[in-house]
Amino acid sequence: MRWPGATARVLLALAAGAVLGLALAHWHPQAAATAAGIAQPIGRLWLSALQMTVVPLVLALVVLGVANASDAAASGRVARRAMLVFVAMLSLFAAYAALVAPALLSLVPRDPQLAATLQGSQAAVEAGAAPSLAQWIGGAIPSNAVMAAAQGAMLPLVVFALFFGFALTRVEAERRAQVIGLCHAVADTMIVIVRWVLLAAPLGVFALMLAVCAQAGLGVVGALAGYIVLQCGMYLGATALCYALVAVFAGRSPLAFAKAVLPVQVVAASTQSSLATLPAMLEAARDRLHLPRPVAALVLPMAVTLFRITSPVQYVVAAAFVAWAYGIELTAVQLAAGAALAVVISLGSIGLPGQVSFMATVMPVTQSMGLPVEPLGLLLAVDTIPDVFATTGNVTGDLAATAIVARRSTDAGDASTPPAAD
């Protein structure tokens, strides 16, 4: 008999917690309150264990992301052009999520009992207080980076990491390599710790789901189902947006592009891995899209390494859902801060395991928007379901970006020969 995989175990724990919590809430309200009081500290303990790795992991990932982007941009004109396209597209999709997700959520009625259960304490409500524009600008650069890390202030911490990463590119190569090696070691160590904590994910998710369902009833189940539908819909919208970008910036027919990338999307949906889909993407770029081989051979591996269009969508949508569940009205400043941070973090998080990536990326974006992080344990459990749509969107974005870079490189006369360092 084979034991179910890690994802299946988490989903089974989620379902078991929901069934038990709903059953207790329906037939034994007093027992439900007792069970929630026992389960809630267990779930919070597991979530805190995940949260303790976020600051060092994000700091290391942002520095490494800047270093990787600098190395890629230094390889030639086509590579630099690709980096500009990647950042521009990530910014566009972050803005798309920041505008569309709250608008869609505002159309859905919210169960007040769900909000009351998730809030749990007055401190959680106060965490959602929106900063003014002057406060946001004044707090973007930390006066004390160590204090920002200690307080979990993610936006100033990431700003410091960006300064540190860019300054590191001006340091002597040997010393730079030592610091980058240290950052790699810190990131790898934090990932090991997160994997240890995730071994207890079925227990943590079971406890969180049991506590919430015992108090909120069916409202939380419907809310999580709505979250899954919202994520899938946003990923499909991002994929459709790629066709429009190809038409505008690559000068190609969206219908022809859709036919060319369809076999790649099928492979992506079946493997749920952009890296495993790379051979199919190279074949499509060469044989169906007829992109210059030097451009495709350089840009597509870069895209798989540095670029996922659905990453900022995932981070912002999760944060917007948390705000909706708590009844918090997001301001333009909060959305802008979350979207900007989502772009930066997405460049450094490529290659992380799925569940590790979720906590290392969604949690900082949620915190930067002044939102509570308690519901993220439940969102982590169900976020694997929309993954097939995310991978399909990512490979579509990879090919769209490559087509745009190829068009710009052809116009500039750089596509006929491999890029040289300059």
Q: Predicted confidence band at 121 (pLDDT cuts at 50, 70, 90)?
A: very low
* Structure token pair of residue 296: 């495709």
Tell me the mean pLDDT in the region 106-116. 74
For position 134, what pLDDT does the model report?
A: 61
Q: Are 291 and 375 in contact (CB under 8 A)?
A: no
Q: What are the DSSP calls for 376-399, one per residue?
A: HHHHHHHTTTTHHHHHHHHHHHHH
CATH 1.10.3860 fits 6-412, yes or no: yes
Q: Are 356 and 225 in contact (CB under 8 A)?
A: no
Residue 112's identity, in one-letter code, is P
For position 217, what pLDDT does the model report?
A: 65
**4 vs 338, higher pLDDT:** 338
- Tens digits of per-residue pLDDT, 324-355? 988 888 888 889 989 988 988 887 666 555 56
* Structure token pair of residue 402: 């490559």
Q: Which residue in this structure is represented by tokens 């979720």? A: 358
For position 123, what pLDDT does the model report?
A: 37
Is the pLDDT reported for residue 419 higher than 50?
no
Closest CA to 344 of 360, 329, 332, 323: 360
Instruction: Quickly count: other Cβ atoms within 10 Å of residue 217's Cβ.
Output: 19
The C-alpha atoms of residue 377 and residue 344 are separated, in whole angstroms, by: 23
Helix/strand/coil for 80: helix
Q: Are 10 and 199 in contact (CB under 8 A)?
A: no
Tell me the mean pLDDT in the region 367-388. 82
The C-alpha atoms of residue 347 and residue 33 are separated, in whole angstroms, by: 43
Closest CA to 221 of 234, 231, 210: 210
- Tens digits of per-residue pLDDT, 237-285? 999 999 999 999 998 999 999 999 999 998 888 777 787 788 889 989 9
Mean predicted lDDT score pLDDT of the chain: 81
For position 369, what pLDDT does the model report?
A: 86
* Structure token pair of residue 2: 């084979």
In whole angstroms, what separates CA 156 from the centre of its chain? Answer: 19
Q: Where are the alpha helices (DSSP H) in 217-283?
A: 218-245, 254-271, 278-283
The radius of gyration of the chain from alpha carbons, rounded to an integer in Å, stands at 22
How much of the chain, in percent, has pLDDT values that exceed 70? Answer: 82
Q: Predicted confidence band at 356 (pLDDT cuts at 50, 70, 90)?
A: low
For position 2, what pLDDT does the model report?
A: 42
For position 119, what pLDDT does the model report?
A: 55
Q: Predicted confidence band at 73 (pLDDT cuts at 50, 70, 90)?
A: low
Q: Helix 218-245 vs helix 201-216: angle between axes, to the nearest 10 degrees?
A: 110
How much of the chain, in percent, has pLDDT values that exceed 90? Answer: 23
Out of 124-128, 180-184, 243-247, 386-390, pick the least confident: 124-128
Q: Which of 134-148, 255-269, 295-309, 365-379 has the highest mean pLDDT?
A: 255-269
- Whole-angstrom distance between the N-terminal and C-terminal Cα of the chain? 58
Tell me the mean pLDDT in the region 20-26. 82
Q: What are the DSSP calls for 104-162, one per residue?
A: HHHTS---HHHHHHHH-SHHHHHTTPPPPHHHHHHTTS-S-HHHHHHHT-HHHHHHHHH
Closest CA to 396 of 246, 247, 230: 246
**420 vs 56, higher pLDDT:** 56
For position 115, what pLDDT does the model report?
A: 64
* Structure token pair of residue 115: 């909000």
The C-alpha atoms of residue 315 and residue 310 are separated, in whole angstroms, by: 9
Instruction: Give CA angle at 27 (215, 326), nearest 5°.
Output: 15
- In the chain, domain spans: 6-412
For position 72, what pLDDT does the model report?
A: 61
The C-alpha atoms of residue 212 and residue 17 are separated, in whole angstroms, by: 9
Is the pLDDT reported for residue 412 higher than 70?
no
For position 418, what pLDDT does the model report?
A: 44
**32 vs 6, higher pLDDT:** 32
* Structure token pair of residue 81: 């052009």
Is the pLDDT reported for residue 14 higher than 50?
yes
Closest CA to 208 of 5, 78, 35: 35
Is the pLDDT reported for residue 154 higher than 80?
no
For position 421, what pLDDT does the model report?
A: 37
For position 349, what pLDDT does the model report?
A: 63
For position 335, what pLDDT does the model report?
A: 92
For position 353, what pLDDT does the model report?
A: 55
For position 240, what pLDDT does the model report?
A: 95
The C-alpha atoms of residue 78 and residue 248 are separated, in whole angstroms, by: 20
